Chains A and B, each alone.
Chain A
Amino acid sequence: MRPPSHFGYSLPLSLLLFCWLTMGVNVAYDGDIFTAYGFPLNWYTPSIISSGGYEIAMVRLIVDLGTYWVLAHLICKALKGLVPTPPKAGRIFQFLLWLSALISLFIGVAAFSIDPHLTFWKLNPPAPHNAAKSYFISLGLQPQPARTHQR
């Protein structure tokens, strides 16, 4: 059975969105600010013990990828009837979507590769309950580098 045609758009679109758009959370405690990224779950954080390192929670990453795919699928489904696309233009657009998604993914994986530390679920260190949190939208190619914050 052939999958509906909008799958050809939703898969690369979800990858592209995953690579470029996410949510960040700053947690302030111990006189410092620590940042984690991911939507709906934080799945990576720049390492605070190693230059260029990242902590990556694999299950959270998979949950986020799945969420992005569902959202991208819904977007494509909603747009399908609204935007008429000639077949040739559709194929070119699909190709460009895949190309940009794969390039973005490739760059992201390369940046993570300097010193990655993979975990199953937990991102270390866990924030204390009394820590102040602020959320923001992170638009830009992931991973975001560690930022040196101070209060």
Chain B
Amino acid sequence: MAVFSETKVGTLFVVEATGNPQMVALTRTSKELFTTFIDREAKRQGLKVAINASFTDLSLWDSVKIAFSNDPLDPSESKPVGEVIEEGKQIAGSSSSGKFYFSQNTCGLDRFSSGQGDPPSSSCGAVGGLAPIVVDGLPYGTTNMYSSGVPPGAPVTGDVDPKYQKYLVQKSNAMFTALEGRGATVGKVAVGYSSAKHKLKLVIEADGDAKGIDAEKVRTMFTIDSMDNAVFMDCSNSATLWFDGKFEVKPSRHKDEYLDVAVGFK
């Protein structure tokens, strides 16, 4: 049985789990607040922790509806970005092959992976459309970084030609750069896994936290803990953390009315 611990590092919430944690993807299916949905489903499924996950797109008219009304949107009016998979079935979302996924590949095995593209369709639990932090041991950041001996002309950002690939020690990523550009105060939700330590780690910062940390420091929190796969979920004022029956971080009122996807662990 998995053992969970929650600590506060400064103003950040850090949740760690060892002992075979199981991932569950949750999608809102009725017209209710995101937090109401998480609270109910997490309790029903015996989860210990749940966080917001994939991005959710809205049409212009639904954005306006959200801006003016206090009612949650019907889930049919919002559209999760990236595939959401539960027990080998896609339960929501659409293909988002340019972005990244986080997946528990086999039910019952505490092996979590991440990568670019859609999650494996046979995943036990997975969400796509995410931003990378570390993928198979390769850290992501605002620039490409290379080991010594790299031939001249290697790009500082963006796509890397195959001839430079073997020198690559850090890959640039637009989503990571955008999050780093928003600085320390923007809300962040990240999850990572260390295959060496068999440990799952979640880092959550509430939006607007003046004592928060930037994306690069979040990455450091994962890399110093030997996390070989880690991703950012939907950030800013979408950040949500439910732990052991109560919310530590809640999304903004607008986001609470239309976010659809969460992941939980038990």
Across the two chains, which residue of chain A brings its CB closest to B81?
Answer: A148
What size tier do the contact residues of chain A reach?
Answer: 35 or more
**Chain B residues closer than 8 Å to A144, beta-carbon distance:** 60
Asked whether, in the complex, the Cβ of B64 is within 8 Å of the Cβ of A107, the reply is: yes
Stretch from B14-22, B39-47, B152-160, B218-226 at the A interface: B152-160
Across the two chains, which residue of chain A brings its CB closest to B78?
Answer: A51
> B62-84 vs A: 1/0 string, CB under 8 Å?
01101110000000000001100
**Chain B residues closer than 8 Å to A32, beta-carbon distance:** 98-99, 174
B108 at interface by CB-CB < 8 Å: no
B32 at interface by CB-CB < 8 Å: no
A125 is contacted by which of B81, B97, B174 (Cβ under 8 Å)?
A: B174
Asked whether, in the complex, the Cβ of B178 is within 8 Å of the Cβ of A49, the reply is: yes
**Chain B residues closer than 8 Å to A43, beta-carbon distance:** none
Contact A124 B98, CB 8 Å, known A50-B235, A51-B238, A143-B60:
no
**Chain B residues closer than 8 Å to A110, beta-carbon distance:** 63-64, 67-68
Quick one: which of B34-62 are within 8 Å of A by CB? 55-60
Asked whether, in the complex, the Cβ of A130 is within 8 Å of the Cβ of B158, the reply is: yes
* Secondary structure dominating the interface of A: loop
B170 at interface by CB-CB < 8 Å: no
Bound: A107/B67 CA distance, A: 10
Asked whether, in the complex, the Cβ of B57 is within 8 Å of the Cβ of A148, the reply is: yes
Q: B59, B95, B98, B252 — which one has the most chain A CB atoms within 10 A of its CB?
A: B98
Asked whether, in the complex, the Cβ of B174 is within 8 Å of the Cβ of A150, the reply is: no
**Chain A residues closer than 8 Å to B259, beta-carbon distance:** 51
**Chain A residues closer than 8 Å to B173, beta-carbon distance:** 30
Q: B57, B158, B235, B258 — which one has the most chain A CB atoms within 10 A of its CB?
A: B158
Shortest CB–CB separation between residue B235 and chain A, in angstroms? 5
B121 at interface by CB-CB < 8 Å: no
Contact A148 B182, CB 8 Å, known A51-B57, A111-B63:
no
A71 at interface by CB-CB < 8 Å: no
Across the two chains, which residue of chain B brings its CB closest to A144?
Answer: B60
Using CB atoms and an 8 Å cutoff, list the residues of chain B in contact with chain A. 55-60, 63-64, 66-68, 81-82, 94-99, 116, 129, 131, 142, 155-159, 172-175, 177-179, 181-182, 186, 232, 234-238, 252, 254-255, 258-259
Contacts A52-B57, A141-B60 known; list 7 others, CB within 8 Å.
A30-B173, A49-B235, A51-B58, A107-B60, A114-B58, A144-B60, A149-B98
Using CB atoms and an 8 Å cutoff, list the residues of chain A in contact with chain B. 29-34, 47-53, 55, 107, 110-111, 113-115, 117, 124-131, 141, 143-151
Q: List 18 A-B contacts (CB under 8 A).
A: A30-B174, A31-B116, A32-B98, A50-B236, A50-B237, A51-B55, A51-B57, A110-B64, A125-B142, A125-B175, A125-B177, A128-B156, A145-B57, A146-B55, A148-B57, A148-B81, A148-B82, A148-B94
